[in-house]
Amino acid sequence: MSGLALQDVTKQFGDFKAVDNVNLSVPHGKFVCLLGPSGCGKTTLLRMIAGLEEPTEGAIVLDDEDITPVPTHKRNLGMVFQSLALFPHLSVGDNISYALRIRGASREEQKRRAEELLKLVHLPGFADRPVAKLSGGQRQRVAIARALALSPKLFLLDEPMSALDAKLRESMQVELRQLQQRLGITTFVVTHDQREAMTMADLVVVMGEGRIRQAASPIEIYRKPADAFVADFIGSTNLLDISADSSGCSSVLGQVIPDLALPAGTAKASISIRPEDVHLGKPGPDAIPGTVTFVRDLGGTIETFVEAGGTTIIAVATPRERVDVAPGDPVGITLPPEACVVVKA
Amino acid sequence: MKQILNGQVSRRAVLGAGLASAGMLAMPSILRAQDKSLKIGVYGGYFKKSFDENIFPEFTKATGIAVESIAEPTGEAWLVQLEQAAKAGQAPADVSMMSQTSTLKGHGTELWTPIDMAKIKNAGDLLPQFVNKYPDGRVAGVGAVAWYITLVTNTKVYPTPPDSWAVMWDPANADKLGLLALASNSFLLEVTAKTFMGGTKALDAEDGILKAMEKLAELKPNVRLWYRDEAQFEQALKSGEIPMGQYYHDVTGLAAADGHPVRSTFPKEGGIQDSGNWVLTRASKKVDEAHVFIDYMSQPAIQGLMSRKVGTAPTLKKEVLDLTPDEFAAVSSEIEPILPRYDLYTTKSDWINQKWTELIVAA
Amino acid sequence: MRREAPKSIADYTPLFFPGLMLVVFFVVPFSTMIAVSFFKRDPAAFYTPDFVFENYARFLSTFFGGVLGFSLGLAVLVAVCCVAIAFPFTYLLTRSPRAVQTIWLVCLLSVLSLSEVIIGFAWSTLFSRTAGITNLFVWLGLMQEPIALLPGFGAVLTGMVYQALPYTILVLYPALVRLDPTLLEAARTLGASPIRAFFNVVTPALRNTIVATLIMVFVFALGSYLLPQILGRPQHWTLSVLITDQAIYQSNTPFAAAMAVFLVLISLGLVGLTLLIGRREAAA
């Protein structure tokens, strides 16, 4: 297969399994986001792809070649570090052409390529500046340009945006995605920011406790989270227990939801329903009764916190769908069956 | 300067001095003697310890003069301190042990109160080199302690003892010698003059000194170590690492007695005899007590005691001493010694030092 | 926050203590030394206050020039050897586990507690024919018979490098600990082997630290006067040895002071030159 495949990759640090039996295959040209909370093993996985860590078990295969034993400097990849790791003693141009210098390219060749890459990252004419004089966003672009100098097969980025402020981060995300699409380069980004992942990725890989919890397109991850962990980590969600009666009919908080079946072999499961799918109305016989506890009006959206059957359910509405309620008001909640996703607890 | 004897046991010496003074206070006979007292400067370390233990208590017992011993710093710092104190009429010590060179340097400023030899009973028995005289004949200092620097060898490497300083020049002894590093403490110019030039008189003129240095230059390939610190050479001599050289006669004897394979030989040209004087600073009012002290120290019995207890060579003629032949041989010899030309190290010191350093340091 | 210029004497009080220390520990001793270096030497006594240049004139000879040249060359060589050994060593040390680092640092600190005398005697034993390491080589069959490895230039250099090495490592350690480890990783992802990356990324990134360390070891080595005596031949005696001889054994304080002033000025000059070259390179 053309592309990158991770086969049963495990990394153990002493007693701690940082990465636990990961299998993943990514065709060329895809933008992959490794997403998860800190300590989930996503950075370790990226470093193993880069060759900076050695897997305890398993293989990393690139274009049908097992590259596990290949040292980093022979893997032909570009990497952007969280610290960016720009060489402080070199100018912008020399940073970018460092890889070419190592390969013994001529001075003219190095200059030409550096200027080309600087244009690509919208910093033409910056070659002679010292890196210490750059702004955060400019440093970011230089680090990206440097990593792309040799037109690598793999482009790896470890939390590349974490040092940027929120606004700059959003525009860099768009820019990075556009750059990746233009170059068609297989890209892995480690992030803990689900918005970032949603913005850029073709494939989002959600990791937790060293394992892949779900690998799918952003919208599928959002719409059909594989388990409670994923549902909870991606966006905000309401997780509600399913109770099944003897007849096999499943209900949530007393509301029977048709066609809802527990996954085979499980006695206990939940549904995940996104706050924007929760319907809020007047109390009625078909609705779950609840009491409003808090209303947060953010202008663009209104979040309503409802106490029902011992849990808090959040409903989000646009101003157009607004239901005027205040804390203490009784309300009725309906859960559209098509929006309910069964997840393992 | 006999540094190996100066550098050690300072802590024990301090403790010892403290105990000694406590002991004196406890004794009524000595309490009474306190109206008569003398401050005596002695080289710190080994000498001060030995004197405090063996000599000063006996002196106080015999004369009723209490002694306050003061540790002198090494080098010429003590001379400078005495000089400056004397200008202010102060005497940090009344009587001091003073190297020959420093005694000569004190002549210039008349720092030393002349000593009346009529008050010294054994004046006639003193060896001539132990009476230091002003140019006009007055006595500036009387011999206090003396010691020999001899030709020492490791007995394992040299089964038969050498008989002349000339063996040091033997090409067979390449890289085997340990010698003192400075002209003014090795006295190798005198050794060269005595061995090859008929005597130290040859050093009177500068070209004589230069000739001696030329001869010394031939020695250089044989020298493995030019030492300033005695401990450095003593260890190497004992182990045979540096099996020949110049070293202190008494210390070598003690090492041999401890079973180390070393020996000290008086070559036929004589051992080098270095010494220190008792001098009295002109700022001191205790002229009488000082004479009593110097007289006491110059008695045959006390010189014998010093040889046995401190390891110094006697300042008196051998005939008047009560030393057994073995005791005498342990600290001295009847072979006429090589006497250092101390005058050279006051009048021509910088010139000699410069030439010497150039001679040795040149590759 | 805006900084107010000090207006009254009271505003300067925080400077009094450091100022006093500077005066007590540097200005006074160094001025005294400069003053004494112009005093007149009296061979029969000590010295007399005067203003003469003869102490400096005596120093300006090919002989002392040679000794000065040797001393400076030796100090430079010691500095270069120390940094060449300590830099990679310290780098690897900072990358090793915490416990290993602690053990090494404790060992290095204990070496620091050894005086120059002990180091000198230890090495003179190690290099001796009768008890030295060559006996081990003979036992291992590497040599025919034990030989003395001293006195000689190699022995002096070894002793001085050994003495200065712990200082070098302890000075380099903080800078190398703070060094971003991803710099080296970044170089590796760009195709540089670890050794190559160490030399063209880690080393230049710490250039200022390395220059500062070189200067420190150079100055430190310049003051060494026991090791050249114990481990070397007379031609390996440094200017510090001759200064000691003049000050302690010849009581020629004015000449010793003149030599010391000369040594200080020459080393300050060299340090200044190094910094100047460094700055020009940085600007280029």
Of C189, C193, C204, the CB nearest to A79: C189
Do the bridges between strand B37-43 and strand B66-72 make them parallel or antiparallel, or are there none, so unpaired?
A: parallel
C-beta atoms of B241 and C128 within 8 A: yes
A102 and C186 in contact by Cβ < 8 A? no
* Total CB pairs under 8 A between chain B and C: 83
**pLDDT mean over C28-35:** 88
User: Which one has a higher pLDDT value, A7 or A261?
Assistant: A7
The shortest C-alpha distance from A98 to chain C (Å) reads 7
Residue ranges per structural domain of chain C: 50-283
Q: Is residue A321 very low, low, confident or very high in pLDDT (cuts 50, 70, 90)?
A: confident
Residue A118 has pLDDT above 90, yes or no: yes
Write out pLDDT tens, residues C42-68.
Answer: 766 567 788 888 888 888 888 988 999
pLDDT single digits (tens) A76-95: 899 999 999 999 989 999 99
Taking CA atoms, B305 is separated from A288, B56, B310, B313, B334, in Å, by: 119, 12, 8, 11, 19
- Closest residue in C to A74 (Cα) is C191
Q: What is the pLDDT of residues A100-111, one digit of tens each?
A: 999 999 999 999
Q: What is the mean pLDDT of residues A287-312?
A: 89
Touching chains, A (3+ CB pairs < 8 A): C
Residue B262 has pLDDT above 90, yes or no: yes
pLDDT at C280 over 80: no
Q: Is the peptide bond before C14 cis (omega within 30 degrees of 0)?
A: no
Task: Give the DSSP H/E element, type plus range, for residue A258.
Answer: none
Nearest to C188 among A72, A82, A89 (CB): A72
What would the mean pLDDT of B138-165 be, rounded to a whole number?
Answer: 94
Domain boundaries, chain B: 3-146+275-331, 148-272+337-361
Contact A146 C205 (CB under 8 A): no
Nearest CA in chain A to C183: A85
Identify the pLDDT of residue B14. 33
- The mean pLDDT of A9-18, rounded to a whole number, is 92
Mean pLDDT (chain C) is: 87
Query: Tens digits of per-residue pLDDT, C177-187?
Result: 998 889 999 99
Q: Which residues contact C22 (CB under 8 A, 6 or more apart)?
A: none
CA-based nearest distance C135→chain B, Å: 13
Residue A246 predicted with pLDDT over 70: no
Query: Which residue of C45, C63, C229 is in closest CB contact with B109?
Result: C45
What's the fold here for domain B3-146+275-331? D-Maltodextrin-Binding Protein; domain 2 (3.40.190)
- B348 pLDDT above the threshold of 90: no
- Nearest by CB to residue A89, choosing from C189, C193, C205, is C205
Q: Which two tokens stand for residue A184?
A: 């068609």
B54-85 pLDDT per residue, tens: 899 999 999 999 999 999 886 677 888 898 89
Q: Residue C2: CB partners within 8 Å, gap ≥ 6? A: none
Residue B113, C-beta contacts closer than 8 angstroms, at least 6 positions apart? B280, B281, B282, B284, B287, B290
Distance CA A113, CA A211 (A): 40
Are chains A and B touching, using the cut-off of 8 Å on CB pairs and a minimum of 3 such pairs?
A: no
Domain B148-272+337-361 has CATH 3.40.190.10: yes
Of C180, C196, C204, the CB nearest to A85: C180
Lowest-confidence region among A254-263, C129-138, C225-234: A254-263
pTM: 0.79
Q: Is C235 in Cβ contact with B181 (below 8 Å)?
A: no
Interface probe for B, chosen from C249, C253, C255, C259 (most Cβ of B below 10 Å), is: C249
Tokens linked to A220: 């599928």
Q: Is C130 close to B226, i.e. CB distance below 8 A?
A: no
Point out the least confidently predicted range of A176-180, A321-325, C106-110.
A321-325
Measured between CA atoms, the residue of chain A closest to residue C186 is A85
**Average pLDDT for residues C270-274, to the nearest whole number?**
85
Average pLDDT over residues C200-206: 89
Res C73: pLDDT: 94
Q: How many CB atoms lie within 10 A of CB C152?
A: 15
Distance from CA of B241 to the nearest CA of C (A): 6
Query: What is residue A267's predicted lDDT score, i.e. its pLDDT?
Result: 65
Give the mutation candidate from C190, C203, C207, C209 for the A interface (greatest A CB count, under 10 A). Answer: C190
Q: What pLDDT is recorded for position C4?
A: 65
Contacts of B among chains (3+ CB pairs under 8 A): C
Residue B99 forms contact with C (CB below 8 Å):
no
**C128 touching B, CB under 8 A?**
yes
Does an interface of 3+ CB pairs under 8 Å exist between C and A?
yes
Q: What is the pLDDT of residue B269?
A: 94
First CA to last CA distance, chain B: 28
| Domains defined along chain A, listed by start | 3-230 (3.40.50.300), 236-344 (2.40.50.140)
| Residue A31 identity (one-letter amino acid) | F
Q: Which of A1-5, A163-167, A222-226, B22-26 has the lowest mean pLDDT?
A: B22-26
> Residue C88 is which amino acid?
P
| Subunit contact C191:A99, Cβ cutoff 8 A | yes
d(CA A132, CA A121): 18
User: CB of C193 within 8 Å of any CB in chain A?
Assistant: yes
* Low-confidence winner among A3-7, A253-257, B42-46, C63-67 (lowest mean pLDDT): A253-257
- Residue A309: what pLDDT? 82
- Which stretches of C140-197 are DSSP H helices? 153-178, 182-189, 194-197
In contact, B309 and B188? CB cutoff 8 Å: no
Of the candidate ranges A278-292, B8-22, C70-84, the one whose mean pLDDT is the lowest: B8-22
The pLDDT value recorded for residue B16 is 35
Band of residue A245 on the pLDDT scale cut at 50, 70, 90: low
Residues of chain C in contact with residue A67, where contact means CB-CB under 8 angstroms, are none
User: In this complex, which of C129, C148, C234 lies closest to B360 when CB atoms are compared?
Assistant: C234
SS3 A260: coil
Cα separation, B102 vs B193, whole angstroms: 23
Residue C187 with chain A: CB contacts under 8 Å: 87, 98
Question: A-C interface: how many C-beta pairs under 8 angstroms?
Answer: 68
- Per cent of chain B over pLDDT 90 is 64
Work out the minimum CA distance from C42 to partner chain B, whole angstroms: 10
**Which residues, including other chains, have CB under 8 Å from residue C21's CB and lie 6 or more apart?**
none
Rounded distance between C-alpha atoms, residue B198 and residue A27, angstroms: 103
Question: Which residue's structure tokens are 């913005």?
Answer: A199
Query: Is the model's pLDDT at B20 over the cut of 50?
Result: no
* Strands of B25-107, DSSP E: 37-43, 66-72, 95-99
Mean of pLDDT values over B235-248:
93
Q: What is the pLDDT of residue C90?
A: 94
Write down the ipTM of this complex.
0.82
Q: What is the DSSP letter of B268?
A: T
Token digits of residue B267 = 């070559």
pLDDT score of B219: 92
| Contact (Cβ atoms closer than 8 angstroms) between residue A118 and residue A80 | no
Subunit contact A78:C182, Cβ cutoff 8 A = no
User: Does A82 sit within 8 Å of C189, measured CB to CB?
Assistant: no
Classify residue A182 by burial, with Cβ atoms within 10 Å: 0-12, 13-18, 19+.
exposed
Q: Note the pLDDT of residue C227.
A: 92
The per-residue b/e assignment along C158-193, b for 16 or more CB within 10 angstroms, e otherwise, is: bbbbbbbbbbbbebbbebbeebbebbbbbbbbbbbe
Q: Which residue has the higher pLDDT, A339 or A190?
A: A190
Q: Are A129 and A139 spatial neighbours (Cβ–Cβ below 8 Å)?
A: no
For residue A248, what pLDDT band results from cuts at 50, 70 and 90? low
Residue B302 binned pLDDT confidence (cut-offs 50, 70, 90): very high
Residues of A in contact with C196 (CB under 8 A): 102
**CA-to-CA dists, residue C207 to A132, B1, C88, C230, C282, angstroms:** 16, 50, 14, 35, 10
Q: Which two tokens stand for residue A130?
A: 């010292």
Give the class (CATH, top level) of C50-283.
Answer: mainly alpha
The Cβ-side half-sphere exposure at A229, using a 13 Å CA radius, reads 13
- Select from A274, A256, A278 the least CA-distant residue to A331: A278
Chain B residues in contact with C236 (beta carbon < 8 A): none
User: In angstroms, rounded to a whole number, what is the distance separating the alpha carbons of residues B359 and B219?
Assistant: 11
B203-238, pLDDT tens digit by residue?
Answer: 999 999 999 999 999 999 999 999 987 888 998 999
Looking at the DSSP assignment, which residues form a beta bridge with residue A331? Answer: A290
Mean pLDDT, chain A, integer: 89
CA distance C261 to C174: 33
